[in-house]
A and B are shown apart, each in its own frame.
Chain A
């Protein structure tokens, strides 16, 4: 065994392989899948004739598993060129990594041979999880649908209100991505855990329980808005729900997310911060800085990349040299995973696992949720950069339609129940519009309010 710390690094999935009972080495890939397929030990694996025949294992995974097995067996036979160091991503924390002092412990003896890494990333595809295994009651499932429908009806009417010039400025709609907000919010302690997101924030606000009235009021620029008409579409906040804001400079809120998490940890609270951002935000240096700080301070934060395929008009694979965005978190030794944003249960399960990962291992993590926005980047973008039929294809995977189907198939509710829920959502939004219309604009003196907490601040005339 090589005696140095550089020889190998490894990262493991959220479900880790610290569990001795699996019989798999710590960094062995796709163990969760193997377990699901009934293979729980290395010996069991060696007995499998054709890996591809296992449920949930495709050719790519089969190849990776076979290679890992070969490597492992070679190591066992003494021809080792790689060695894993104790990883902060598994086991019960990073205690072994705690430096003895402020001096460096890094070796500059460079090992011979190539340095190999073995990484696995958990996945949460659509259609894999049921509500009962996630612990949702039937009523709670209907609530999920209610939340998603409210977002969609709200956003649709926002378009109309923009066209009628009731809403001005930038307006970025969330249609298509509702499973991400609803799935995530239902995985945390609302009101105790914190959530921060970017400028496409209406859906998150509504999913967190902000009322359509205060949201529409804000969009209309009225004094009844959540930010008293001084934030607008991109700046929804709700201190009580711990909605820490919609933030409008791409990437700039990621360090804020780290700071929010920092305060939770500083005060010894068990809460986490979910920090949502788009694929485009990952290009900013702020992403790297926030991740690194979260990593070294071991902050209770889940970085959630809401990959809706386009940063404004630039497709994700045109803009990244490494378009598997979830893998970027690996650079910070984070457990990383990939979930479908078109299934509210997949999102919910993934977020729960990430939150639980912090509770278990005290380490931040990264989740990529693949989703799709049906509208253009903003209200004025006709989204002509899409491929022909692309939108229709995505709509066929619509998360709301999926959940409705699920509910009907399982007999949780009937089609007419669902129609009634939809109408109720629509009515709430229409009422919110009426209320916003009737509400007053802020007083002109309000322009000086909330600039400083100091009440007698001497503004320059």
Chain B
């Protein structure tokens, strides 16, 4: 019976091996102990030894090929034996061989099917990490007062026991004065409140008043543990959350991030946007958001900084610099977030960018995007300015080499000609994949973005 030879595990950390040299040829007689080939592992070059006798019927992989542990690399058997089962994947007994063969086929197909393309390959669900809106600067939403805080929004300090007693007696902790350190509400404070008589404790809970009879004997314990009170709510992890988790973890772990922040004077850009929108209203065209200005600025800057519009692709052994500029714009939706893509943003006018962005964002929220509408970004922006975030750092949306995190536009005193005057500023932070983008490269790109935004008339050219 033919014996499949699979890529062996030759070190404790090995995941795949390179077949560096075949030492025997097809048709050679093999004895147990013969060295068939040499395999380069992550640690050393080791011998691939035969453990069975027979004839080397088939070398499945070539010298230089790298295959994972367990993949079929050769078959030993009797002269003339039919091994198509092993090679063709029919053998239920040895699924490793079948898988290996299938994998090889797939790889070949893939190689054929993948033409030279400047399109980035991306997963079907293209997502980035930060929630975002459509780029419009908005009024901050007033925060609702969450439970456990007082009228001024400060967290109420109370001991766990005091909280429990208060809950059992419907006592509002916000109306209890704490006598403990730093105003902590403790048992005696809640009890004092209850004694004051408002509201009356529910009678059926009286037995659970917090003074159990002292029973320090070795009898079975009679205290109640709060097992029956669910301490959390469970929710299944959605497919989208899984994708977000996987892709962003992969990005953060494999792409060494560094961060560059620049504070941009946006006084002129804000003014320009107002002018343009007045005009747009008159002419019935789409209004332009500030984010659209940023999209356009980045798109133009990317044309001059090809490494920021690039991808580090270790499996292909290359850095891919894209010839076209496709801007991913992170949009928060109920289930998570998604990144619709404005294609060729460098070639589109502001009005076109504004219209397209708004339409994509709306369809993103109604989960109506086609895959090609969220795949293939070459650069991504994420805007949390509308939440009053001054600045933040974003995780790169793989396989991009950078992402721009956009903070709020804020009124701030600035020094101009030695005088403090009111100014409008916006902080943006570029996260860079250091495998592609070096510090100076990133800084130069940011400088270009700043130039466009500080002299926004250039965006109209």
Contacts and interface: CB of A to CB of B under 8 A. Distances in A.
Q: Do A and B touch (CB < 8 Å)?
A: yes
A163 interface: yes
A159 interface: yes
Interface string A154-176: 00110110111100011000000
Contact of A156 (B8, B10, B51, B69): B51
A382 B10 CA distance: 9
A162 B14 CA distance: 12
B32 A164 contact: no
A160 B52 CA distance: 10
B9 A160 contact: no
B51 A160 contact: yes
Given A156-B51, A164-B70, A382 B44 contact: yes
Contacts of A164: 6, 8-9, 70
Contacts of B33: 156
B69 A157 contact: no
A169 B13 CA distance: 10
A380 interface: yes
A163 B8 contact: yes
A160 B44 CA distance: 18
B44 A162 contact: no
Interface residues of B, number: 17
B51 A162 contact: no
Contacts of B47: 382
Contacts of B70: 164-165
B156 interface: no
B205 interface: no
Given A159-B49, A382-B46, A165 B69 contact: yes
A163 B17 CA distance: 12
Given A382-B44, A382-B46, A384-B44, A156 B9 contact: no
A380 B12 contact: yes
Contacts of A169: 12
Contacts of B9: 162-165
Given A165-B69, A165-B70, A380 B10 contact: yes
A384 B44 CA distance: 10
Interface in B394-442: none
A380 B9 CA distance: 9
A28 to B, nearest CB: 49
Contacts of B250: none
A382 B42 CA distance: 13
Contacts, number: 33
Nearest to A380: B11
A157 B51 contact: yes
Contacts of A159: 49, 51
A240 B109 CA distance: 59
A382 B51 CA distance: 17
Nearest to B14: A380
A201 to B, nearest CB: 19
A219 to B, nearest CB: 14
B242 to A, nearest CB: 25
Contacts of A156: 32-33, 51
A57 B45 CA distance: 46
A382 B33 CA distance: 15
Nearest to A426: B32
Chain A, interface SS category: loop
A160 B70 CA distance: 12
A147 B11 CA distance: 29
Contact of A380 (B6, B43, B51, B69): B43
A315 to B, nearest CB: 19
Interface string B60-93: 0000000001100000000000000000000000
Interface in B320-336: none
Contacts of A162: 8-9
Nearest to A384: B44
A156 B47 CA distance: 14
Contacts of A163: 6, 8-10
A169 B9 CA distance: 12
Contacts of B49: 159
B415 to A, nearest CB: 61
A157 B51 CA distance: 7
Contacts of A160: 8, 51
Contacts of A379: 10
Nearest to A170: B12
User: For B9, B32, B45, B47, which residue has the most chain A Cβ atoms within 10 angstroms?
Assistant: B9
Nearest to A166: B9
A426 B455 CA distance: 82
A159 B52 CA distance: 13
Interface string B30-48: 0011000000000111110
Interface in A139-165: 156-157, 159-160, 162-165
B30 to A, nearest CB: 14
Interface string A373-396: 000000110101000000000000
Contacts of A380: 10-12, 43
A160 B46 CA distance: 14
Contacts of A165: 9, 69-70
A163 B52 CA distance: 14
Nearest to B70: A165
Nearest to B41: A380
A163 B51 CA distance: 11
Interface in A364-416: 379-380, 382, 384
User: For B10, B33, B45, B69, which residue has the most chain A Cβ atoms within 10 angstroms?
Assistant: B10
Contacts of B45: 382
A384 B46 CA distance: 10
User: For A159, A163, A165, A384, which residue has the most chain B Cβ atoms within 10 angstroms?
Assistant: A163
A260 B208 CA distance: 59
A384 B45 CA distance: 10
Nearest to A167: B9
A382 B9 CA distance: 13
Nearest to B8: A163
A109 to B, nearest CB: 60
Interface string A30-74: 000000000000000000000000000000000000000000000
A399 to B, nearest CB: 17
Interface string A415-449: 00000000000000000000000000000000000
A170 B46 CA distance: 17
Contacts of B46: 382
B435 to A, nearest CB: 30
Nearest to B11: A380
A157 B32 CA distance: 11
A395 to B, nearest CB: 11
Interface in B11-34: 11-12, 32-33
B260 to A, nearest CB: 43
Contacts of B10: 163, 379-380
Nearest to A156: B51
Contacts of A157: 51
A382 B45 CA distance: 8
Nearest to A160: B51
Interface in A260-306: none
B264 to A, nearest CB: 54
The 5 closest A-B pairs by CB, nearest first: A163-B8, A380-B11, A160-B51, A382-B44, A165-B9
Interface of B: 6, 8-12, 32-33, 43-47, 49, 51, 69-70
16 contacts: A156-B32, A156-B33, A156-B51, A157-B51, A159-B49, A159-B51, A160-B8, A163-B8, A163-B10, A164-B6, A164-B8, A164-B70, A165-B9, A379-B10, A380-B11, A382-B47
Given A160-B8, A162-B9, 7 more contacts: A156-B32, A157-B51, A159-B51, A162-B8, A163-B9, A164-B9, A382-B46
